[in-house]
């Protein structure tokens, strides 16, 4: 299968090229040339299938032409080797818990899938010196670092702004060792990102090593996220025949939502989607007016959604042939302030005993506000509430437990290289640290 750029200037790429490059040379995002549909009988039987059964089938539809079947099955099984349960919260309202992976956030799925796919290409093509660079303000770094931990033939550099990520986030990528190198930059997140960008453009580095990014624009991280939408439907269908399913997605860079739209295009019987924004509501405004006006992000308590120029917006536009009308048919949206998010966390906890994290709370509220009585609603809970301990404790007025697996990170020894924002120093580190 070939992959084209959403900007249609760069030449089409193979899967391997698209995965290694990440962004297309014209700065567009790669899209698969065709989207394979799943047959009707797959959906008749889906209630009997496990997560790994589904992962194998869906991965085959995406990548089956380009990766050996046995190997692809192994990649899918390893990437999704944790539970993604669907739980009933209220009549007609279900939560899909995407936070049971190594770093307690949904990005684990994509990061784990991508790491194994990249490792497959590294081994198949005997690529030497493959390095993944990731600049992080917190959660992406931990998902990518843990996703690639111990994966053969690939070294990961996580750049993060010193003193500007939470203690628990920092522990999740500075205590790993092995093939994960944490670079603590004496600067801001933007400085980290600038260093990574400079590295991708540096002629000498690109001659001597393979450099790739692992953010959600990468097709190997993005597409596999479709899998759990099928699994959500499977768990609903197992209980009773369902139609009129709507899915609410807490949205930042829109990778998660776009993956759901791919699932629908492959035949998944979801009637429509709801995009939940915090006050960084560029996408909500687009739905409302038809105008896309990116702007600087502002800080909120759902900080993984603090995105002012959502990168996967281009993919959504492309999927719908640039038609605002067509997009509106499939997606509605809503936007919430920090105060509203906190209120939701509190009232849901009081009413049901279920503890939401700020991102899941946005999605829950959007579902409640947008769902019609005859619809069955699913919302995605993208992070474990304990990752936002202070915020949720303030909402519910009591303390919560941190899962043992999460607090274990905090007890391990921090290892990081403290660097200035000087590019040559960073470059030297890329050559010398092994």
Ligand X SMILES: *Cc1c(COP(=O)(O)O)cnc(C)c1O
Note the residues at the interface with ligand X (CB under 6 A). Answer: 105, 107, 139, 216, 250-256, 304-305, 359, 382-383
Contact (CB, 8 A) for 245 and 378: yes
For the CB of residue 357, give the shortest distance to ligand X in the complex, in Å: 7
Query: Based on CB atoms, which residue is closest to ligand X, 1 or 309?
Result: 309
| CA-to-CA dists, residue 287 to 209, 297, 317, 320, angstroms | 42, 18, 12, 13
Q: How large is the angle between the packed helices 338-352 and 389-396, nearest 10 degrees?
A: 60
Q: How large is the angle between the packed helices 139-148 and 107-124, nearest 10 degrees?
A: 40
Query: Based on CB atoms, which residue is closest to ligand X, 23 or 430?
Result: 23
Query: Based on CB atoms, which residue is closest to ligand X, 250 or 333?
Result: 250
Query: Based on CB atoms, which residue is closest to ligand X, 122 or 276?
Result: 276
For the CB of residue 221, give the shortest distance to ligand X in the complex, in Å: 10
For the CB of residue 91, give the shortest distance to ligand X in the complex, in Å: 26
Q: What count of other Cβ atoms lies within 10 Å of the Cβ of residue 332? A: 18
Distance from the Cα of residue 234 to its chain's centroid? 21
Query: Based on CB atoms, which residue is closest to ligand X, 49 or 98?
Result: 98
Query: Based on CB atoms, which residue is closest to ligand X, 199 or 304?
Result: 304
Backbone angles phi, psi at 402, to 5 degrees: -95, 130
For the CB of residue 372, give the shortest distance to ligand X in the complex, in Å: 24
| CA-to-CA dists, residue 281 to 118, 277, 309, 310, angstroms | 33, 5, 10, 10
Closest to 380 measured CA to CA, from 287, 270, 289, 300: 270
For the CB of residue 142, give the shortest distance to ligand X in the complex, in Å: 10
Burial call 390-419: b when 16+ CB within 10 Å, e when fewer: ebbeebbeeeeebeeebeebeeeeeebbeb
For the CB of residue 263, give the shortest distance to ligand X in the complex, in Å: 14
Query: Based on CB atoms, which residue is closest to ligand X, 43 or 292?
Result: 292
| CA-to-CA dists, residue 342 to 287, 299, 354, 361, angstroms | 25, 15, 14, 8
Q: How large is the angle between the packed helices 139-148 and 167-174, nearest 10 degrees?
A: 20
For Cα atoms 111, 341, 410, give the angle at the middle one, nearest 5 degrees. 45
Residue 246, CB half-sphere, CA atoms under 13 Å: how many?
A: 27
For the CB of residue 316, give the shortest distance to ligand X in the complex, in Å: 11
For the CB of residue 330, give the shortest distance to ligand X in the complex, in Å: 16
Query: Based on CB atoms, which residue is closest to ligand X, 21 or 359?
Result: 359
């Amino acid at each position: 299968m070939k992959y084209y750029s959403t900007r249609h200037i760069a030449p089409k790429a193979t899967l391997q090229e698209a995965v290694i490059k990440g962004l297309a040379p014209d700065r567009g995002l790669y899209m698969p040339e065709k989207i394979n549909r799943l047959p009707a009988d797959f959906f008749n039987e889906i209630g009997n299938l496990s997560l790994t059964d589904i992962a194998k089938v869906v991965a085959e539809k995406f990548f089956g032409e380009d990766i050996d079947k046995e190997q692809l099955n192994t990649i899918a099984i390893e990437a999704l080797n944790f539970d993604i349960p669907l739980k009933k919260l209220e009549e007609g309202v279900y939560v899909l818990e995407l936070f049971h992976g190594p770093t307690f956030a949904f990005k684990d799925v994509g990061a784990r899938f991508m790491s194994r796919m990249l490792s497959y290409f590294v081994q198949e093509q005997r690529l030497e010196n493959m390095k993944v660079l990731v600049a992080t303000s917190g959660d992406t770094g931990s998902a990518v670092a843990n996703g690639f931990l111990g994966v053969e033939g690939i070294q990961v550099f996580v750049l993060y702004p010193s003193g500007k990520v939470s203690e628990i986030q920092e522990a999740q990528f500075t205590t790993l060792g092995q093939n994960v190198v944490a670079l603590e930059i004496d600067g801001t997140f933007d400085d980290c990102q600038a260093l990574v960008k400079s590295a991708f453009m540096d002629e000498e580095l690109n001659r001597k090593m393979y450099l790739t990014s692992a953010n959600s624009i990468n097709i190997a991280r993005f597409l596999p996220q479709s899998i759990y939408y099928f699994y959500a439907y499977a768990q609903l269908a197992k209980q009773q025949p369902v139609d009129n399913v709507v899915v609410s997605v807490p949205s930042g860079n829109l990778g998660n939502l776009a993956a759901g739209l791919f699932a629908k295009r492959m035949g998944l019987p979801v009637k429509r989607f709801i995009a939940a924004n915090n006050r960084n509501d560029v996408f909500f405004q687009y739905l409302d007016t038809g105008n896309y006006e990116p702007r600087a992000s502002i800080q909120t308590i759902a900080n993984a959604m603090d995105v002012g120029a959502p990168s996967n917006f281009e993919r959504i536009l492309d999927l719908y042939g640039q038609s605002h009308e067509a997009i509106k048919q499939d997606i509605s949206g809503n936007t919430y302030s920090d105060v509203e998010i906190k209120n939701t966390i509190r009232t849901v906890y009081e009413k049901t005993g279920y503890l939401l994290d700020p991102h899941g709370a946005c999605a829950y509220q959007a579902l409640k506000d947008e769902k019609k009585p005859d619809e069955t609603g699913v919302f995605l809970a993208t992070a474990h509430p304990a990752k936002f301990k202070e915020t949720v404790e303030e909402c519910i007025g009591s303390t919560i437990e941190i899962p043992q697996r999460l607090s274990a990170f905090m007890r391990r020894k921090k290892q990081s290289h403290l660097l200035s924002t000087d590019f040559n120093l960073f470059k030297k580190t890329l050559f010398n640290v092994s």
